[in-house]
Amino acid sequence: MRQSWNEQFAETPDVLKSARREQTVAPVLDFEIGGDEFITMAGPCSVETEFQLMATANRVRRAGARILRGGAFKPRSSPYAFQGLGLEGLKLLARAREESGLAIVTEVMSESDVPMVAEYADILQIGSRSMENYSLLEEAARSGRPILLKRGMMATVADLLRSAQLILDNGNPNVILCERGIRTFETAMRNTFDVAAIALLKQISHLPVIADPSHAAGHRDLVPALARIAVAAGADGLLVEVHPNPDKAWSDGEQSLDFDGFDDMMASLDPYLALREAARLRPMEAVG
Ligand code: PEP
Ligand code: MN
């Protein structure tokens, strides 16, 4: 007989749905992630300039985003590529929060930077390349900030859940899982968007699930379709890269939407969001 999901993921019991565990809703400013509201996080890959960040913050807020993303510390594939503005970038993010009212999510790459990043950010992002850096996860957990945990590009669902469990073990219940595409034999796109993982995670875990169609696709023209697929699969929200002038972006320009592209993508989600709301009227099932 087939194992139940609880048996299959027995190593990470606290991330699984059960009669004892309600859906996790992570509080951020005056709203929640994982609740009824669909949450969009949007912004540039990297914080570059004050103009770039403020203009993006204002436009994505108008289109319905709740959270501004932007990297101040960038884990680049090449050590010779732009590595981020560091503290200056964090300060720009804090200013953008003040001006726009958006919450801030930004990546923390090193254990020693956790207190500084936690001072400026509402949510700490653990990047794909850091998903299995357990000492970083422990330190980030102890900051008390909600953690956006991105799936490693070579990580299985079980690996992702192990990292989530570790954060819970360190006293932080507010883990937000993020599917951002994995490496497979397919090379036409930057990564393979594992939409099945979104459906599975929603089925087995009480943690919120965010989809990142930008890093999955690697090409901006595919981002809206992957975003719609993610909503249909039950995601609690999106993480999308947006830039005022994507062709001039200092990182990930090919996959960044411009402002009009972001408006169009957001408008195209409406019918999918309506279906999602209908599906959420059903009570949450515990996994057998
Ligand atoms: C990012 O969000 O810009 C990023 C570097 O993502 P990932 O860790 O998924 O590659
Ligand atoms: Mn990026």
pLDDT tens string 36-57 = 999 999 999 999 999 999 999 9
pLDDT at 101: 98
Per DSSP, the three-state class of 147 is strand
Tokens coding 65: 């985003």
Virtual torsion, Cα 215, 216, 219, 223, nearest 10 deg: -100
Atom index in ligand 1 nearest the CA of residue 151 equals: 9
In CATH, the architecture of 23-287 is Alpha-Beta Barrel (3.20)
- Give me the chain's average pLDDT, please: 96
127 lines ligand 1 (CB under 6 A): yes
Closest atom of ligand 1 relative to the 239 alpha carbon: 2
Query: Considering every ligand atom, which ligand is closest to the CA of 253?
Result: 2
Count Cβ atoms within 10 A of the Cβ of residue 107 and give its class: 0-12 exposed, 13-18 middle, 19 or more buried: buried
Q: How far is residue 159's CA from residue 149's CA, in Å, rounded to a whole number?
A: 12
Q: Which atom of ligand 1 is nearest to the CA of 71?
A: 3
CB-ligand 1 contact for 71 (6 Å cutoff) = yes
| Residues of the chain scoring pLDDT < 70 | 281-288
CA–CA distance, 232 with 245 (Å, rounded to integer): 29
What's at 57, amino acid-wise? A
The domain spans of the chain are 23-287
Q: Which ligand is nearest to the CA of 151?
A: 1
Those residues with Cβ within 8 angstroms of residue 278's Cβ, 6 or more apart along the chain or in another chain:
none
